[in-house]
Amino acid sequence: MAPMIERPAIPRGLTLVLGAASITVVVAGVRSTQSFVTPLVAGMILAVAALPVAHWARSRGWPRVVGAALCILVLWVVLGFILAGTVLAVVEMATLLPQYSTQLAGLNSSIHSFFVSLGASPEVASQASSSFDLKKILPLLGDIFLQGLNLLTVVLFLFVTIAVVSIEAVAAPTRNVLLSSRRPLLATAMGDFAKNTQSYFIVATTFGAIVAVIDGLVLWGLGIPLPFIWAIVAFTTNFIPSVGFVIGVIPPALLGLLGGGWSLMLAVIVIYTVVNVVIQVIIQPRFVIDTVSLSLLATFFSLVFWTFVLGPMGAIVAIPVTLLMRALFLDSDPEQSLLSSFTRRPDPEERTPRPPRVHRRRRHTADTPPATATATGSLEPTARAQHTE
C-alpha cells in the first residue's frame, strides 16, 4: 500500500497569490502615508547606525542620557550639513545660470541647427533645443526649491523621530537580554541587523568622503564654479548605491558646458565617471556586500523597491531596511533559512582537491626491465637494472 502524502491545508499556489496580494495592499498603504512612514523608518535606521556613539559614552562611565544626547547631536549635525549643502546647491545654481544667459541662447541655437541638419522638422528641433531655455530652467529650479520647503515639515519630523528613537535605542541592550531568553533566534537576527547597519554606514560614509574629496579637487582643477558645493552633493549621492553619482554629475557637467563648451563638459563627465565607477560601482559594492552579507542582486532590487515605496529617502536607507526585513521575517524563522540564503552573498567556492596522481606502468622491452614496487609505494627499478652485468 502506497504511503499517504501529507498535503498542506492551503495549496502552495494559493498561498503565493494571497502573499502577493497582501504585499500589494501593504505597499499601497505605505505609499499613501509616505510622508509619515518614511521619517519613522529613516529615523529608526539612523538611530541604530549611531548606537556606537552611545556605547562609547557608556564605556567611559557616562550616564545613559549623555549617550543618547551624543547620538542625537551627531545625527543632527550630519543631517544638517547634508541638508544645508543641498539647499545651497539649488540656490547657487539658480544664481549662476542667469550669468550664462548668452551661452544658453547660443547653445539653444546650435542644438536647433544640429537637429535641422539631420533632417528633423523645425518643430522637433525647437522642442529638443527648448530643454536649454533659461526661461524653463529657472522655474524648474524654483519648483525644486519650493518642494524642498514643503518637505521641511517632513525633515523636522525626521529630526524629532531621531531624538525619540535614539533615547529608546540606548536601552536596547537591556531589552535584548529579555528577548534572548524568549526568542533567541530573533534576538540574534536583530543583533546582526544592528551590526550590519552600522558597518554599512561606516563603509558608505568613508567612501563618500573619499569620492567627495576627489571630485571636489577635480572640479577645482578644471575651473568649475562652486567645487565645494558639488563635493557635498557627491558625498550625499554616494549613499544611493551604484547610481548616485549620475545625479551628482549633472550640475557640474552643465556648468562645464556653459563655461567651457562641450570639451569641458565631456572632461567633467569622463573624470567623474572614471572616479565614481571605480570607487562606487566596483570597489565600494564589494565592501558593502562583504560587510552586510547581501547579494548584489538583492542590493539592486532593494534600491529599486524601497525608492518606489518610501520615495527619495528610500534610496538612502534601502540596504538597512532590507536587512531589517530579512532579520524579522527570514533570519528569525528557521523554516525560512533556504529563502534567507538567496539574499546573502554566496560563500567563496572551495577549491576542488586535485585527484591523486596515478603512476602508469611503463612498457618494458628487452633493454628496459620493468619497475618493482617497494615497501614505501615508490617504484624502483629491479636489481637487474641497477647492477648491470
The answer to whether position 362 is within a domain reads no
3-class SS letters over 130-187: HHHCHHHHHHHHHHHHHHHHHCHHHHHHHHHHHHHHHHHHCCHHHHHHHHHHHCHHHH
Are 185 and 326 members of one domain?
Answer: yes
Structure-block grid coordinates of residue 107: 547653445
The answer to whether position 259 is within a domain reads yes
The answer to whether position 167 is within a domain reads yes
Are 169 and 185 members of one domain?
Answer: no
Distance separating alpha carbons of residues 224 and 29, to the nearest angstrom: 44
Are 207 and 262 members of one domain?
Answer: yes
Are 266 and 201 members of one domain?
Answer: yes
The answer to whether position 10 is within a domain reads no
Are 291 and 214 members of one domain?
Answer: yes
The end-to-end CA distance of the chain, in Å, is 78
Are 75 and 217 members of one domain?
Answer: no
The answer to whether position 278 is within a domain reads yes
The answer to whether position 13 is within a domain reads no
The answer to whether position 358 is within a domain reads no
Are 114 and 185 members of one domain?
Answer: no
* Residue range of the domain that includes 335: 181-345
Distance separating alpha carbons of residues 326 and 340, to the nearest angstrom: 7
At 348, which amino acid appears?
A: P
Which positions ≥6 away from 274 have C-beta within 8 Å? none
Tens digit of each residue's pLDDT (9 = 90 or more) over 220-259: 998 888 888 888 888 888 777 667 778 788 888 888 888 8
Are 147 and 212 members of one domain?
Answer: no
**Number of domains within the chain:** 2
For the chain, which residues score pLDDT lower than 70? Answer: 1-9, 111-112, 114-116, 119-154, 170-174, 241-242, 289, 337-340, 342, 345-389
The answer to whether position 276 is within a domain reads yes
Are 202 and 155 members of one domain?
Answer: no
Are 111 and 218 members of one domain?
Answer: no
At 214, which amino acid appears?
A: I
Domain limit, last residue, from 117, 147, 173: 173
Tens digit of each residue's pLDDT (9 = 90 or more) over 90-113: 778 778 777 777 777 777 777 667
Domain limit, last residue, from 173, 194, 216: 173
Are 186 and 63 members of one domain?
Answer: no
Are 273 and 334 members of one domain?
Answer: yes
pLDDT at 56: 87
Structure-block grid coordinates of residue 150: 514643503
pLDDT at 124: 63
pLDDT at 203: 86
pLDDT at 151: 59
Domain limit, last residue, from 173, 190, 213: 173
Distance separating alpha carbons of residues 165 and 76, to the nearest angstrom: 13
Determine the 3-state secondary structure of 380 from DSSP: strand
